[in-house]
Amino acid sequence: MSGPCRAVGEVLGSLGTIIRAGITTRDIEDFADTRIRELGGRSAFRGYRGYPASICVSINEQVVHGIPSNRKLNDGDIVSVDVGVEMDGFYGDAAITLPVGNVSDSDSTLMRVTEEALYLGIGQAVEGNRLFDISHAIQRHVEQHGFSVVRMFVGHGIGREMHEEPQIPNYGPPGQGPRLRRGMTLAIEPMVNAGTHDVKILADGWTAVTRDGKKSAHFEHTICVTEATPVILTKYK
């Protein structure tokens, strides 16, 4: 049986087969929730601070925490899917942003740079480095491309709770913050906006959207710090 992180990776890796114009965000929710249960886990999100669904699905200018609904995906949308699983008292958490049909070159670039920023951040998650080395690597890459990192939400430690210390901002000064130790498990999750970093929360109390209405992308992995290459626990194919 796979652990919570493997289950998260498995769900995210299979999304490519279902995501297309015309399906609703609730179809993605149902698909993911069924898979999570089949794999022996439960959604870590449902009921968390009253969150009403099993996953988060955030379209276009929605940054994170979009609540699945009867809204349909359209050709040209970009859609972020965030999945958290609890299994046997442990947690895994990861997210991916996917294109729906044909997306613009600028939206492809936004997604690519966000994913690259995630891997650059992960590359700094090595024993002996400092926490903000991760943050800085993400911020630098994002800003080099003229995009902005969201300030209002951060990555986090993860393990026996979904959110543990430390918080991991996606911006910050290199060489600072707590020293990273082997065995630390971290959810690193750059949220990147095409325009301003500023976000606001919609009236549903959850959905975070860019204040300027421009698009946003989100990639996340749960990783384990070692003395060398970090282990990506939520890997997908």
Q: Which of 146, 151, 236 is nearest to 190 (CA)?
A: 151
Binding partner selected for residue 86 from ligand MF3, Co ion, none, CB under the kind-specific 5 to 8 Å limit: none
Q: Which of 15, 57, 59, 65 binds ligand MF3 (CB under 6 A)?
A: 65
SS3 120: helix
CB of 146 to Co ion, least distance (A): 25
Should residue 165 be labelled a site residue for ligand MF3 when binding is judged by CB under 6 A? no
Residue positions counted in the chain: 237
CB of 49 to ligand MF3, least distance (A): 6
Distance (Å, whole) CA 178 – CA 60: 34
Tokens representing 86 are 């609890």
Which long-range contacts (C-beta less than 8 Å, at least 24 apart) are formed by 163-166? 166/131
Centre a 10 Å sphere on the Cβ of residue 114 and count the other Cβ atoms it contains: 29
Tokens representing 168 are 């991991």
The footprint of Co ion on residues 72-111 (CB under 5 A) is 93
Closer of 83 and 225 to ligand MF3 (Cβ): 83
Q: Which of 12, 187, 194, 223 binds Co ion (CB under 5 A)?
A: 187
Q: At what angle do helices 25-38 and 4-13 cross, to 10 degrees?
A: 140
Should residue 45 be labelled a site residue for ligand MF3 when binding is judged by CB under 6 A? yes
Closer of 103 and 232 to Co ion (Cβ): 232
CB of 138 to Co ion, least distance (A): 14
Site string for ligand MF3, 91-130 (x = CB under 6 A): --x-------------------------------------
End-to-end CA distance of the chain: 18
Q: Which stretch binds ligand MF3 (CB under 6 A): 45-53, 112-120, 127-135, 223-231?
A: 45-53
Give 50's contacts (C-beta < 8 A, 6+ positions apart).
none
- Residue with smallest beta-carbon separation from ligand MF3: 51
User: For residues 134 and 190, is the Cβ–Cβ distance under 8 A?
Assistant: no
Closer of 91 and 132 to ligand MF3 (Cβ): 91
Q: Find the helix or strand (DSSP H, E) in which 132 lies.
A: helix 131-144
- The residues binding ligand MF3 (CB under 6 A) are 45, 48-49, 51, 56, 65, 82, 84, 93, 156, 187, 220
- The residues binding Co ion (CB under 5 A) are 93, 187
